[in-house]
Amino acid sequence: MPPNGEWPPVGDREFDFLRLALASRLFPEPPFPDPPADLDWERLDFLLRQHRLTAHFYDLGKSGRHSWPPLFRERLRLDHYGLIIFSDQFLVRIKPVLSALTEAGIPIIVLKGWALIQTIYGGNHGHRIYEDIDILVHPQDADAAEMILKELGWQPEEERRPGFTRRYFNAQAYYLEQPEIPGRVFFIGFHWGLLHHPAYNPEQIDVGELFQRAHPLEIGGVPVMVLSIEDHLVYNCAHIVLQHRSEESLLRYYEIAAVIRDANTSLDWCKVEKHAKDWKLILPLKKVIQKVEEIWPGTVPTSATTSIKKIRPALSEQFIHTWYDTTNFNSSLEHLLTWLTMSGMRRRLSFIWEDVFLKSVYLKKEYGPTMGRFWPLLYVRRFMRVFEHLWK
């Protein structure tokens, strides 16, 4: 972030060059820009890494690479080809999962990064940095899909109680360790609901309708699906605001802009507004569209920006965002928000019980050891940490 806290910054030479470079992908004119004579290449390298754009920038600027400083060019080349090598390794591990789910008759929607790799990046795995692959299944298929993941050696991250994540959230991380490659771990974001920050009412977003509107896609030759353009746009705006706390990352806003520009007239903005209203995600849509227009004016049709500005969010949605703004996304207080937004009083009460009274094995691992092995004392340590976090 620039010293004055303004984002996107104004009058920042390296940032402006990067913004214009990305605009060359979004608009037919102008072409990839020539670097200013006084460009600070070290700072540009820093910005590219900060915004996770080194690999994509290397390919995007191929017409002018010859004029780049050799060290700068070599760093980006290594990032680009390193990402290709990693993606090849990742595909070897993920294809059996996608194939097994497909053969079992379980429909899959691929979300976020890997969906974008196949669409706006043209299937080139050397463009887009990622940590995992996010897959969405219908809630009724979640148990069968989980069994397949485990049979293939993927393990869920440890829970405070068995089944806790399934009961109260919409996604769970699975990992696959590779003993033959020390330190190398691959991840799957396994979703049976679209959003989990906070844990929205499961009836708020109908997963069945998402599958009905989804489009076919292929990953590594395996047939899967991708969200409709309108669903993708609303979901990813929410992902930026709720999960990534409106982080100042050019990558995320650039990808929103690319989806809009590539869709062109096929993007139905009336459907975008309808889904945002139905899912109570008006504020994320407003925030992200406004930011995209600030960075790359002309990305969104004027009629759409005007219409989106007029939409009024529901009081329940305003409450959630006011909570986040007031608490500065404090994770302990977000836990309370999760409880408040959860559907069903019985479910809320069981969530509190399971969240407060942990199993001794989990408690010992997270907060132990104790003097005299009297593990209930660990509750005192746990609550002290919670209050310390709340204070911060």
Residues 6+ apart with CB under 8 A from 200: 170, 193, 279, 280, 341
122 and 270 fall within a common domain: yes
Beta-bridged to residue 188, according to DSSP, are 133, 174
pLDDT at 44: 96
- pLDDT, tens only, 255-274: 999 999 999 889 999 999 99
- Record the tokens describing residue 124, joined without a space: 């080139």
Longest dimension (CA), the chain: 72
Q: What is the pLDDT of residue 390?
A: 61
The pLDDT, as a whole number, for residue 373 is 66
Please indicate, yes or no, if residue 70 is contained in any of the structural domains: no
* Domain end (from 251, 281, 313): 313
CA–CA separation, 261 and 270 (whole Å): 17
Q: Is residue 81 part of a domain?
A: no
Instruction: Verify cis geometry, omega within 30 degrees of 0, for the bond prior to 369.
Output: yes
What are residue 217's phi and psi, to 5 degrees?
-150, 160
With a CB cutoff of 8 Å and minimum separation 6, the contacts of 54 are 45, 48, 75, 76, 79, 80
**Tens of pLDDT, residues 181-239:** 667 889 999 999 988 765 556 678 999 999 999 999 999 999 999 999 999 999 999 99
Does any domain span residue 13? Answer: no
Instruction: Give the per-residue pLDDT at 1.
Output: 46
Same domain, 365 and 253: no
Confidence (pLDDT) at 281 = 94
**Domain endpoint, select from 313, 341, 356:** 313
How many structural domains are present in the chain? 2
What's the confidence (pLDDT) of residue 245?
81
**Is 291:282 a contact under the CB 8 Å cutoff?**
no
Same domain, 240 and 158: yes
- Domain assignment of residue 66, yes or no: no
Q: Are 381 and 367 in contact (CB under 8 A)?
A: yes
Which CATH number characterizes residue 192's domain? 3.30.460.40
Q: How many CA atoms lie within 13 A of 339 on its CB side?
A: 16
Radius of gyration of the chain (CA): 23
275 with 165, same domain?
yes
Within-domain flag for 131: yes
* Among candidate residues 255, 280, 313, the one where a domain is terminated: 313
Q: Could you tell me if 169 and 122 are in contact, meaning their C-beta atoms sit under 8 angstroms apart?
A: no
Tokens matching residue 204? 């708020």
pLDDT value at residue 389: 63
Rounded to 5 degrees, what are φ and ψ at 86? -60, -40
Give the span between the Cα atoms of 360 and 378, in whole angstroms: 9
Q: Which two tokens stand for residue 142?
A: 């979640």
Q: Where are the alpha helices (DSSP H) in 27-170?
A: 41-50, 54-60, 70-103, 112-118, 142-151, 164-168
CB 147 within 8 A of CB 100: no
Looking at the fold, whether 176 and 265 belong to one and the same domain comes out as yes
331 and 307, same structural domain? no
Give the whole-angstrom CA distance, residue 116 versus residue 118. Answer: 5
Supply the pLDDT for residue 4: 54
Q: Return the half-sphere exposure (C-beta side, CA atoms, 13 A cut-off) of residue 234.
A: 25
Start-to-end C-alpha separation, the chain: 22
Let me know whether 253 and 375 are in one domain.
no
Confirm whether 222 is domain-assigned.
yes
Q: Which amino acid is at 242?
A: L
Same domain (yes/no): 301, 327: no
Domain of residue 348: give its range: 319-391
Do 325 and 230 belong together in one domain?
A: no
The two three-digit tokens of residue 137, written as one number: 């299944």
173-176 long-range contacts (CB < 8 A, ≥24 apart) are 173/132, 174/149, 176/93
Specify whether the CB–CB gap between 46 and 73 falls below 8 A: no
Intervals of the chain under pLDDT 70:
1-5, 180-182, 197-202, 360-361, 364-377, 379, 386-392
Could you tell me if 267 and 343 lie in one domain? Answer: no
Is residue 133 included in any domain, yes or no?
yes
Q: Are 198 and 324 found together in one domain?
A: no
- DSSP 8-state symbol, 35: P
* Whether 95 contacts 147, CB under 8 Å: no
* 273 within some domain: yes
In this structure, are 191 and 115 located in the same domain? Answer: yes
